[in-house]
Structure 1
Amino acid sequence: MNSEKIEIFDTTLRDGEQVPGCKLNTEQKLIIAEKLDELGVDIIEAGFPVSSPGDFHAVSEISKLVKDAKVCGLTRANKNDIDVAAEALKYAKRPRIHTGIGTSDSHIKFKFNSTRETIIERATEAVKYAKTFVEDVEFYAEDAGRTDNEYLARVCEAAIKAGATVLNIPDTTGYCLPEEYGAKIKYLKENVKGIEKAILSCHCHNDLGLATANSVVGAINGARQIECTINGLGERAGNTALEEVVMVFRQHKDLNLQTNINSKMLNEMSQLVSDLMGMPVQPNKAIVGANAFAHSSGIHQDGVIKNRETYEIIDPADVGVNASSIILTARSGRSALAYRFKNIGFDVTKNELDYLYQEFLKIADLKKEVVNDDLNLIMEAFARKVV
């Protein structure tokens, strides 16, 4: 069976930049945008043009720079937002306007003081108006995760009729469980008239730590676009992490879903975004964290040394990491110590290792990690003892 393509919509420069302290200047945004294009993302959400002159300028400059990806600008469902976005995107080779409105009863009542029917009218008008500027219009139903499925289907049907080419189904608050979100996508796939004319898109937040799971289940149930960020950056607890969904599809070939992402650039991309945004990546972050391919337990180290696949389902090279790391701690065993000694040029016998291991443990009990300098000192002391 041929794999189906999942389009990767990167919103690092829009939703990712909404993290407090992560403000980027235009030059930094251009550096990231160029790398995202090289990485192979299908759509770059470059910003929210109406929000500030700086954001407008950045979206305009990114539109001029990007060669392959579609460039997208976010708007609310009003004509001024759409006018400004269209102007910012006028240099883009493949422009997309992303417009929408809240659809949950909570948003309709408290945010808009409106009615369900009025929201459908506003959604229709916004899509129709955006369509006068660009062919590619994405509609977002904000807080779709908490929107009644039957009503959400009506909104989506109206958006498609108005000309939407993509339907974004955001779990804006990160509330949905995977089975709920998957069922929502399945319901829309089966109940929205004209759904074959549009792509369903997942935009999941990580408030309960379920963003990646929800996005993957959404794709399994018929979504063909995932909206995500490098390192999972985004509002509050963040968004779906690009590197995670890409590697889920790569490792689970039985899903028959694939992306155009060059996975060997993932580690480099993660570090670039972390450096420019000043947001360190947590060490235990999946795929790109410093500890993602590091082993400190003796049992794990022994297994990895014998065969990497005993404890690693991903080859580090596939995500741009040079090699697995064997970290020496008080939990490390003899095989790990011998491995590290060999790496720095010392082949030791079993009898020598028995002695060296006891000396190693003396240091390991005093330090979080035993490094190569420590090993050299142990070996120098051992050499003097032998002499």
Structure 2
Amino acid sequence: MKERELQKYLRKCRLLPVEPGPVVAGFRCAAVIPACDELEEIGNTLASLAPGADDMVLLVVNHPADAPSRVKAASGELLRLLASGAFSCRNLFWIDAPDLTGGVGEARKLGMDAVIASCHAEQAERVILASLDADTVAEPDYFDAVRGCFERNPAASALSIPFSHRPGATPEEERAIRSYEAYLERYVDRLRRAGSPYAFLTVGSAFAVRAAAYVRAGGMRVRKGGEDFYFLQAAAKTGRVVTGDRVLVHPSPRPSDRVPFGTGPAVRKLMAGEAPAEISDAAFAFLGRLLARAAGPGGLEEAELFLDQIDSCSADFLRQEGFLLIWPKVLANTPDRRDARLAAFHGWFDGLKTLRYLHRIDRFCGNGIPSVAGKKRI
């Protein structure tokens, strides 16, 4: 990474003081952990981590401006415990970040940006930012295993880390969390079989990214929920997201409504008898045919021709997404090679578009296979 690229990114960042002192260059892996009202869980999380001399842990102690007084008091107590050395975790740093408006996404960004600010440009390809949560327990070799995954995948920009939630507090909670895990795995597995490059899990407590890839992806998204999904989607557009080979983290299974969507709300709904909306196998079959056509010879050389070669439901979706207007502009800025055109298509037809596409196909076309969309060219 070039120094000017790094500095351009940092000029846009809000950098808060780090305690007990500034992060210094030289750490190889930094685990960034937002902590909001987590006094009961944070001790177990920190006790599970065993950072080496080249690893660090950075807590971002935060709460929203409108948080109840109890939550603000919990932030104050955690800061007091950190300052007193109550936790034995090695290379432990923290940021006091009260009154956040951007939720957990902003907290993650503050922590990751603080690590980025300590990096020299030539280090950025080697430094790893790992994302954890304050209610997540890690395997003892977490840091070694994360670094090892990147060493075995030198072309990877980011890593989706396999996880298994801790046992539920009740039989109902246990059934709900295992049902939700199976739901997520089914979705990713069917994306993989369809040929999507976005076939990876996106959970905030279970991913890591190279510092350089983090900067190139534009940094963590400032959102109250879904920041992990949107960030890893961006990372997949600028590099490759791989999935680790074994479970390394164990998030909490507890139901929650602290974020608008994700594990906590899903578990709460499952325990109330509301199952997540499944997407049909037929919709994924449509996706597989669409992506295969895009990867085929000549498929993406011209927008109209591509729409003529796919089914009418898929063609209608792409038209509504502005494909006919956008694709000629994309081609004008893309090398004249099939692999470059396909990469550009996946950059446009990203993880979010894929999800919207699947829902639309499921709603309107899931019971059959429409004919090819357009008239054949002579």
Normalising by structure 1, what TM-score?
0.28
Q: Which has the higher contact order (CA 8 A, sep 6+)?
A: 2
Larger Rg computed on CA atoms: 1
Normalising by structure 2, what TM-score?
0.29
